[in-house]
Amino acid sequence: MKGLSLDWQQWALIATAVVLVAAGVLYWALRRRPTPDEIERRRRAHINQIGRITEGRVVELLEAPAELARSSGGVFSKKKVALRPPNGSRKLIHYSYSVSGVTYSTAQDVTDLQARACLHLLVAGQPASVKYDPTNPGNSILLADDWSGFR
């Protein structure tokens, strides 16, 4: 039984490990998770930084209905946040472009970038520059916070 008894240093080490594990679990459970708008902003910034440019075309301009509320916050959060704009619609620009003989057709939500987009000047069929991720050409943007593919 003497081999099972622990001295104060071993007890301190065990207590420290338990406190660290509890702090890690608490941080993981309560940390602020990024909102969908924040994730999209980070994606645009990344592609703007590393992207290559190719020629594309605006296919269509749409106003799509948005969810009226989304959950935000940690695991235990019940808080709901309203999406902008208050009328509940999102502005989408559908566009297509080609990279290495493959044609991609996608859309970008430009609701938060409407001031830069000049949506009233866009028409279907208009040429535009598209920035795309060279490692994943399907990941692209027409518009970022500090870059625009519109002429």
Mean pLDDT of the chain: 82
User: How far is 81 from 27, CA to CA, in rounded Å?
Assistant: 22
Residue 138 in this model has a pLDDT that exceeds 80? yes
Q: In terms of pLDDT, which residue wins out, 11 or 151?
A: 11
pLDDT digits 0-9 by tens, 6-64 = 788 888 999 999 999 999 999 888 888 888 889 989 999 999 999 999 999 999 988 87
Across 110-120, average pLDDT: 78
**Chain Cα centroid distance, residue 127:** 26
Per-residue confidence (pLDDT) for residue 78, from 0 to 100 = 45
Report long-range pairs for 68-75 (Cβ below 8 Å, ≥24 apart).
Answer: 70/35, 70/36, 72/33, 72/35, 73/32, 73/33, 74/29, 74/30, 74/31, 74/32, 74/33, 75/29, 75/30
Lowest-confidence region among 44-53, 77-86, 88-97: 77-86
